[in-house]
Amino acid sequence: MLPLAAHLRELRKRLIRSAVAALAGFLVSYYYSRELYDLIARPLIPAMPEGSAFLAFTGVAEPFFVYMKVGIAGGIILGSPVILYEIWAFVAPGLHKSEKRLFIAIIASSLLLFAAGVVFAYLAVFPFAFKYLMSYASPELKPFISMGGYFSLATKLLIAFGAVFQLPLAMLVASRLGLAEARQFLSWWRYAIVAIFVAAAILTPTPDAFNQLLMAGPLVVLYGIGVLAAWLFGRKK
C-alpha cells in the first residue's frame, strides 16, 4: 500500500495529464468553434420565420465568450478519453478483478447512455421544440435570439437529456447495492410513469404535450430496460 505522499504525487501526475489533454482539446475545438456553434444551432435556423433566420449578439464580447464556451466544452469531450484513462489508472490498483470489470462496465454504459440522450435530444427533440417555440412569431413579433442565450438553452437541454438517459444504469446500480429489487421497480411502475411525466414537463422547453412525450416516451422505455437489467444482473438473494 502506497503512503499518502505517494498517492498525492500520483494524483498530481494524473491531474496534470488530464489538464494537458483538455487544453489540447480546447485548442482544437476553439479553432473550429464557429463550425461547432453552427452545428449546435442547425436545428434552430429552419424553425425560424423567413427573414428572421439568424442569431444575433447583444454585447460586444458575447461572440468571444460563446466561442470560448464552445471550445471548453469541446476540449472536455476531446480530452475525455485521456481523462477517463487517468481516472482508471489512479483507481485501478485499489480494485479487485471483479470490481475492475464492474467499474469499466459502469463507465462505458454511462457514456453510451449519455451520448444516446444527447443525440436523441439533438435529432428528435430540438426540431419539434424549436418549431413550436417559433410558432409564437408574427408580423408584429419577430424573434431576435442572442447566440449566448441559444447556446445556454441548447447545452442545458443536451445535458438534461444525457442525464435522464442514465435511468437504467441508476436502477441497475441500486439493485446491485441491494437498495431495490427488480420486482420492486416493477411494482412502482405507476409512480414511475407519473414521475417521468413530471420530469418531462419540467425539463422540456415547451408546454405542449407532444414535446413532453418526446422525453417521457423514451424514459418509460428506459425504465422498462432498467427493470430488465435489474432482473438479469441485479443482486440475487
Grid coordinates given for 162: 444525457
Residue 206 pLDDT level (bands cut at 50, 70, 90): confident
Q: What is the 3-state secondary structure (H, E, C) of the chain?
A: CCCHHHHHHHHHHHHHHHHHHHHHHHHHHHHCHHHHHHHHHCCCHHHCCCCCCCCECCCCCHHHHHHHHHHHHHHHHHHHHHHHHHHHHHHHHHCCHHHHHHHHHHHHHHHHHHHHHHHHHHHHHHHHHHHHHHCCCECCECCCCEHHHHHHHHHHHHHHHHHHCCHHHHHHHHHHCCCCCHHHHHHCHHHHHHHHHHHHHHHCCCCCHHHHHHHHHHHHHHHHHHHHHHHHHCCCC
For the segment 65-86, what is each residue's pLDDT rounded down to a tens digit?
999 999 999 999 999 999 999 9
Return d(Cα 149, Cα 14) in angstroms, integer: 35
pLDDT score for 222: 93
Average pLDDT in the chain: 89
pTM, 2 dp: 0.87
What percentage of the chain reaches a pLDDT higher than 90? 54
For the segment 99-154, what is each residue's pLDDT rounded down to a tens digit?
788 888 888 999 999 999 999 999 988 998 898 888 888 888 888 899 999 999 99
CB burial of 80-119 (b: ≥16 within 10 Å; e: otherwise) equals: eebbbebeeebeeeeeeeeeeeeeeeeeebbeebbeebbe
pLDDT score for 211: 76
